Amino acid sequence: MHGAILLQYTLAMWPALGLLLQLAATHQSALDAYRQHRLADAAAQFEAVLKTERPGTPEYGESVLLLGQSLYLQGKYGESIPWLEKAAAVKGAPVEAAYMLGNACLLTRRADRALAAYAQLFQVDPKSAAAHLATARMMMRQEMDDDAAAQARAALELDSRIPEAHFLLGEVALFHGDFDVAAAELQKEIALNPGYAMAYYRLGDAYGRKEQWQEAIAPLERSVWLNPNYSGPYILLGKAYLKQKEFANAEGVLRHALRLDPQNLSAHYLLAQALQQEGKSEEAGREFARWKELKGEP
């Protein structure tokens, strides 16, 4: 008797069990497509399976996230935003949800929504100076320098002493060729943030572009003293010493630059010039040859 009842119960439940297995297979199929980088297939399958998955379940959360990511990675930024917003709203959501959401909003010119996403990504108040500065930095990565400058200025309005906002404005000014503005902004950064090696480096760069090589030397020296493991300031300092006819100093810092970055074209060329000026013709020839080799010249 009990066996018959159990058999009847099993038969009654079979359609429901079959549906559960079908749904699991559909989710797994979409997941497989995503892992195989078949992004268009994955997006279509996740969109279909979401019509049957229950909100609040782990499967639903994964489908929402991977649908948003599949669309984002195809360059369908506007379509990805609603799904990435849902994914980012879940407690404990992976950080890439907020990262992709912020980028998608930037690339579709939705700066306010990008600001909120980056605030979540970097765990700061969306109304804070820090949120504006983080957004400015992410805008610089997308080469949206004018928008980045606006965000940096908004950060300074909220907190006039926030580090790196003046630095970012200096970088934007350098990019636009406004070297006097760049120098002024970088000097403001250094006054607030005197241990920031990159600010000295960019200040030296601004002076160099104005052909004020004597003025460039001191900030470049400070930059290398603060961060001795970055080749950029050494190379620019070597050029400044060359311009000032301090050839031995130029040789020394350029050799150090090449120990840090052996493939650097500029460092090899400038070192060749310094050696030539010192009368070290054979060594200069080797450096010129290495420079041509790196350029791909015969």
Please, where are the H alpha helices in 142-264?
Answer: 145-158, 165-175, 179-192, 197-209, 213-226, 231-243, 247-260
Q: What is the pLDDT of residue 163?
A: 96
* Residues 135 and 90 grouped into a single domain: no
* Residues 35 and 115 grouped into a single domain: yes
Question: And the tokens for 181?
Answer: 């503005």
Q: What is the pLDDT of residue 25?
A: 52
Residue written as token pair 């939705």? 110
Enclosing domain of residue 167: 124-215
Mean pLDDT, residues 22-35 taken together:
78
Residue 199 forms part of a structural domain: yes
State how far the Cα of 173 lies from the Cα of 154, in Å rounded to an integer. 17
The number of distinct structural domains making up the chain is: 3
Q: Both ends of the chain: CA-CA distance in Å?
A: 93
The region of weakest confidence among 36-45, 131-140, 183-192 is 36-45
Helix or strand or coil: residue 280? coil
Asked if residue 9 has pLDDT above 50, the reply is no
Residue written as token pair 């669309």? 71
Residue written as token pair 């630059």? 257
Q: What is the pLDDT of residue 6?
A: 44
Residue 144 forms part of a structural domain: yes
* Residues 96 and 142 grouped into a single domain: no
How many CB atoms neighbour CB 211 within 10 A? 10
Condensed to tens digits (0 to 9), the pLDDT of residues 197-234 reads 999 999 999 999 999 999 999 999 999 999 999 999 99
Q: What CATH number corresponds to the domain at position 235?
A: 1.25.40.10
Prediction pTM value: 0.83
Q: Which residues contact 28 (CB under 8 A, 6 or more apart)?
A: none
Asked if residue 194 has pLDDT above 80, the reply is yes
Among 82, 101, 122, the domain-final residue is 122
Bin 37: left if φ > 0, else alpha if -120 < ψ < 50, else beta.
Answer: left
Q: Are 231 and 267 in contact (CB under 8 A)?
A: yes
Q: What is the pLDDT of residue 18?
A: 42
Condensed to tens digits (0 to 9), the pLDDT of residues 84-135 reads 999 999 888 889 999 999 999 999 999 999 999 999 999 999 999 999 999 9
Q: What is the pLDDT of residue 12?
A: 46
Condensed to tens digits (0 to 9), the pLDDT of residues 63-97 reads 999 999 999 999 999 999 999 999 999 888 889 99
228 secondary structure, DSSP code = T
79 secondary structure, DSSP code = H
Q: What is the pLDDT of residue 28?
A: 87
84: nearest Cα among 130, 76, 36, 126: 76
Mean pLDDT, residues 11-39 taken together:
67
Condensed to tens digits (0 to 9), the pLDDT of residues 139-186 reads 999 999 999 999 999 999 999 999 999 999 999 999 999 999 999 999
Mean pLDDT, residues 258-275 taken together:
95
Residue 23 forms part of a structural domain: no
Q: What is the pLDDT of residue 90?
A: 86
Asked if residue 5 has pLDDT above 80, the reply is no
Identify which has the larger pLDDT, 100 or 59. 100
Q: What is the pLDDT of residue 298?
A: 66
Asked if residue 196 has pLDDT above 90, the reply is yes
Residue 19 forms part of a structural domain: no
* Residues 234 and 290 grouped into a single domain: yes
Question: And the tokens for 248?
Answer: 């031995």
Give me the sign of the Cα torsion angle 54, 58, 59, 62. Answer: positive
Model confidence band, residue 295 (pLDDT cutoffs 50, 70, 90): confident
Residue 94 CA to chain centroid, in angstroms? 18
Question: And the tokens for 255?
Answer: 């050799």
Asked if residue 285 has pLDDT above 70, the reply is yes
Q: What is the pLDDT of residue 53?
A: 87
Q: Are 265 and 288 in contact (CB under 8 A)?
A: no
Q: Which residues contact 230 (CB under 8 A, 6 or more apart)?
A: 197, 201, 223, 224, 260
Question: If you average pLDDT over every residue of the chain, what do you get?
Answer: 90
Inter-CA distances, 1 with 8, 14, 97, Å = 11, 20, 55
* Residues 138 and 194 grouped into a single domain: yes
Among 85, 101, 122, the domain-final residue is 122
